[in-house]
Amino acid sequence: MEKTNEKTVYERIYDAVLQIPYGKVATYGQVAAMAGNRYYARAVGNALHRNPAPDVIPCYRVVNSKGKLASSFAFGGEDRQKQLLEDEGIEVTDGKVDLKKYGFNPFA
């Protein structure tokens, strides 16, 4: 198999997640669009569950389209995701964040 310089879908997803600023969140769909295809939302979830460097790639900053946290956050569960977000000053109420207040708009 010939090696190319093209990044894999997962690598593009991880690069996109690294762009989410401290104190902000992005949705799976936004990350998918940042990675090159807005239809990759399911791939984003799969990639984040396989995050090879959770201490570096802040997958906890990714929430669903309504601001809801992942019920099965791969690195410690929903409570861990909540704690990591709150550590950045993001308010979490009833398992959700206010996207108007904390949402990152990569296309603004």
Active site residues: 59
Listing DSSP states for 31-83 in one string gives HHHHTT-GGGHHHHHHHHHT-S-TTTS-GGGEE-TTSBPPTT-TTTHHHHHHH
Residue whose C-alpha is closest to residue 7's, from 34, 28, 26, 29: 34
Distance CA 28, CA 5 (A): 25
Tell me the residue length of the chain: 108
